[in-house]
Structure 1
Amino acid sequence: MKQSFAISGGTVGSQSQGAPHVYVKIVTDSGIAGWGEARPSHRWSGETLETVTSTIEGYLKPALIGAEVEDVRSIRSRMNKEIKADLSGGQPIAKAAIDMALYDAIGKARQCRLADLWFSGFRSSIRLSYLISTASPEEAESKAAFAASNGYRGLDVKLGLNPESDLEILEAVKGAAPNLFLRVDANQAYDLQRAIKLSRAMERIGVDVFEQPLKADDLHGHAELRRKTNVPVALDESIWTTGNLMQAIRAEACDTAVVKLTKMGGLTGAKRCGELAREAGLGLLGGGLTESRLALTASAHLFNYLQIEEPVDLNGPIFLEDDPIESGPSVEEGTVELPDQPGIGCRISEDKLKLYGR
């Protein structure tokens, strides 16, 4: 990693220790290889490097050998039978890597892009937001100024690292980049009263969306917050499945849903959640967690399909010094040019995997 990355729950990657990424390769009878990626973090979810790898090796792999690669529904049923689909989907990050690899293999076999599999138009690029994760207002201001002068259209500011400096950080960021879309992510850091007080100050500052201010299971608290602020509320950790999303819709707990491949069990689950949120009239934001360019590309294709117009938080290029992607997207600060290739469109260096692997 080029720099450490912290959220309100703690560090999710550092220069000294790096960050865990798990790659899955699915090979069909005809020799076509599909690739998927999981990015677990024990600070953000209940899955770790160890649980993801043991789940795949010990449970999912034996259940899936011999399955028809294009029968994605049956494969998901097999995975959910082997690892029960609880409220979070049952090890969704592990399942996401397999689901992603399936789509890559199917696209390569059919010689078509993900957009073609979804019967939608191919969009060749996507705009990124710039992630700011620091407890220092001065550093936050410097990073916001960098983003504004380097082509970024949005900022994703992590709060709760030092709650006493939250407002000072937001004021510094807004002053340095007043015209960028401002997404503020608390990662469940606050109680309701603190969130209400903060959101009223955010109205004055000009925050565009307040993401996951309260605990994931506090839908009623989020609904109460919405009644007391004009800042739109987005839910991330509260929504892992379509079932979670329907509960949030019924509770009127959010204005916007955050779509992430890894938390939603892969492309299949994330696509279903995004489509349901759209039908319910919610806004959509795209997110990630320092995934490499493989999951970044898969995510970007999906976000384009869902017509997410706000800059997306695919922050791997900001934090990762290197990854095992031999060819794929071209990342130029605030813009990603996507590969016009079958499947996800990335080629993996297995030599790099050996270099970084355990």
Structure 2
Amino acid sequence: MRIYNIEVFPLILPMKQDFTISSGSVGAKSQGAPHVYVKVTADNGAIGWGEARPSHRWSYETLETVTSTLTNYLRPALLGANVTDLCTIHSIMNKEIKAGPGSGQPIAKAAVDMAVLDLIGSASGKTLSELWFSAPKTTTQLSYLISTSSPEEAERKALYAKSKQYKGLDVKIGIDPSRDIEILDAVKSAAPDLFLRVDANQAYNVQQAVKLAKRMEQIGIDVLEQPLKANDLFGHAELRRKTCIPIALDESIWTAGDLVQAVRAEACDTVVIKLTKMGGLTGAKLCGDIAREAGLGLLGGGLTESRLGLTASAHLFNYLNIAEPVDLNGPIFLQDDPVHEGPIIEEGHVILPDKPGIGCEVSMEKLDAYRI
């Protein structure tokens, strides 16, 4: 099979609530959220779907750069490529868009990688698990995300998550640093038995993080995610020496090379695996395998992807045997998406489709409705 066509669909998907992190809004009910769907068609008619979820408050990629990268650079370079030769496909993409400090437009490349693997699975009649020679798992535990500067609202959300049988909470801090401890106290009091993952999204310096971590130890936080700037590996290593709370790195690790540097610097206890930031399923799987071999813990995360990206991520996290509830929070924030048939998402967990490839069917009518 060879790549016959690559179609790019820039979308604005409706949101049912606002989503804010320490660096600002990553989606609003009044404006929606940017997503880009990619359809790869082979010369035998087989198709595969992928998704990119850019956010300029989280990385340098935007709806515009992802769309132009895919349309003007990656598509022309990849037409005619052997679908099943993933190594060459990534080599072509990395030659066309060179790496800078990271891998070079990884969110755009992730959509192509995801679509190609979906196509390979669909054409061969194999699920992602079967392509990876692993036993399929039908469900994935989800965490509930809390993003607010109000301790009262944080408490209400924690009580809601507990009542709906969620096993974990992901709490964003740094939105209003003066209220971080109040928020965490409120959440822990409301749901003391849930796994508590606290994500700072690079909000602090070392001194602030050390002081905050000491208070978090008293509250009983299970893991502190990305407290410092992404490039501050030695700062994270210093923080690890001064707290007993496990430190997880997210924005610091985009590639397998980044992961190796973090291991050498002894900068973290845990790695956050996200297929979108890691250039797709292929890069994220590699990072997960290396982290396991290095003796590090794994957490699963996402960028409020639709059910397409959520399903692909869940398959990967199951393959990696990630035990803690994963942060695939798209359903918490998105009102709708173009997936016609896919996973069954219930409070606290997702039931994965038992179909070849990723297992989702996309509605062209909804693509047209949300396309810009």
Place the TM-score, normalised by the shorter chain, in its bin: over 0.9
Residues 228-250 of structure 1 deviation map (CA, whole Å, 9 limit, x = unaligned):
00000000000000010000000
For the pair 1:330 / 2:330, whether they are aligned, the reply is no
For the pair 1:162 / 2:176, whether they are aligned, the reply is yes
For the pair 1:317 / 2:331, whether they are aligned, the reply is yes
Alignment-mate amino acid for residue 269 of structure 2 = D
Q: Distance in 2 between matches of 1:244 and 1:291?
A: 23
1:222 to 222, 231, 236: 236
**Corresponding residue number in structure 2 for 1:14:** 28
1:126 to 134, 140, 143: 140
Alignment-mate amino acid for residue 89 of structure 1 = S
Q: Distance in 2 between matches of 1:99 and 1:194?
A: 39
For the pair 1:179 / 2:219, whether they are aligned, the reply is no
1:105 to 77, 98, 119: 119
Residues 125-180 of structure 1 deviation map (CA, whole Å, 9 limit, x = unaligned):
00000000000000000000000010110000000000000000000000000000
2:164 to 150, 161, 176: 150
2:94 to 80, 84, 105: 80
| 1:336-347 equivalent positions in 2, closer than 5 A | 336-347=350-361
| 1:274-289 equivalent positions in 2, closer than 5 A | 274-289=288-303
Q: Is the 1:21–1:38 Cα contact (8 Å) retained in structure 2?
A: yes
| 1:39-54 equivalent positions in 2, closer than 5 A | 39-54=53-68
Instruction: In structure 1, list runs of 5 or more residues that go unmatched.
Output: none
Alignment-mate amino acid for residue 283 of structure 1 = G
For the pair 1:297 / 2:311, whether they are aligned, the reply is yes
Q: Distance in 1 between matches of 2:337 and 2:76?
A: 28
Residues 60-97 of structure 1 deviation map (CA, whole Å, 9 limit, x = unaligned):
00000000101010000000000002332100000000
Alignment-mate amino acid for residue 220 of structure 1 = F
Q: Distance in 1 between matches of 2:187 and 2:299?
A: 20
Q: Distance in 1 between matches of 2:275 and 2:191?
A: 29
Q: Secondary structure at the match of 1:20?
A: strand
1:33 to 13, 36, 47: 47
Residues 233-268 of structure 1 deviation map (CA, whole Å, 9 limit, x = unaligned):
000000000010000000000000000011000000
Alignment-mate amino acid for residue 222 of structure 2 = D
Question: What is the deviation of 1:221?
Answer: 0.3
Q: Distance in 2 between matches of 1:88 and 1:173?
A: 35
**Corresponding residue number in structure 1 for 2:214:** 200
Residues 168-206 of structure 1 deviation map (CA, whole Å, 9 limit, x = unaligned):
000000000000000000000001011001111111100
Question: What is the deviation of 1:40?
Answer: 0.0
**Corresponding residue number in structure 1 for 2:131:** 117
Residues 296-327 of structure 1 deviation map (CA, whole Å, 9 limit, x = unaligned):
00000000000001000000010000000000
For the pair 1:238 / 2:252, whether they are aligned, the reply is yes
Q: Distance in 1 between matches of 2:253 and 2:304?
A: 19
Alignment-mate amino acid for residue 171 of structure 2 = V
Paired residues, number: 358
2:202 to 177, 188, 196: 188
Q: Secondary structure at the match of 1:90?
A: coil
Q: Is the 1:87–1:241 Cα contact (8 Å) retained in structure 2?
A: no
Aligned-residue RMSD, C-alpha = 0.4
Q: Secondary structure at the match of 2:228?
A: coil
Q: Is the 1:188–1:216 Cα contact (8 Å) retained in structure 2?
A: yes
Q: Distance in 1 between matches of 2:340 and 2:371?
A: 16
Residues 10-55 of structure 1 deviation map (CA, whole Å, 9 limit, x = unaligned):
0000000000000000000111110000000000000000000000
For the pair 1:63 / 2:77, whether they are aligned, the reply is yes
Q: Secondary structure at the match of 1:122?
A: coil
Q: Secondary structure at the match of 2:145?
A: strand
Q: Distance in 2 between matches of 1:237 and 1:88?
A: 11
Q: Secondary structure at the match of 2:198?
A: strand
Question: What is the deviation of 1:289?
Answer: 1.1
Runs of 4+ residues over 2 Å off in structure 1:
none
TM-score relative to the length of structure 1: 1.00
Question: What is the deviation of 1:295?
Answer: 0.4
Percentage identity across aligned positions?
70
